[in-house]
Structure 1
């Protein structure tokens, strides 16, 4: 990937930090979380677990921790909020 971007690891890390990410994993997880939230709105029949795997998360505990840290609520609370908005 670094070759495709014509950069090195140090430059990429600095760019990610400049954009507010703690590193590459944080950048990836941020985009996975955005995808999760988008799909949760579009595919209301799927469970948190199905959406989690679909979004690229492989560890339930890591996903729940990251989600709660960013969204200040659990994935289940987020899903309940979405369902309440659509009633």
Structure 2
């Protein structure tokens, strides 16, 4: 997997305790087009602390351009931002 660290727009649902569950997201390509990707399977969920910021780290799987790919999404709790970290 390659580190890309791109900000994304996410649709997710949250439990009462604040734990997020990603549903689908979109990201902007180099040619300014939007790609919409449905999160088909969440493989693992971990919580990490990076530079004093707590983050949820999701390892997910989806079909992107007719190829099944595994990627890593991160959700930063303090800023409520989602990042496509690796793909």
Q: TM-score, normalised by structure 1?
A: 0.26
Q: Which has the higher helix share?
A: 1
Higher gyration radius (CA)? 1
TM-score normalised to structure 2 length: 0.26
The structure where strand makes up a greater share of residues is 2
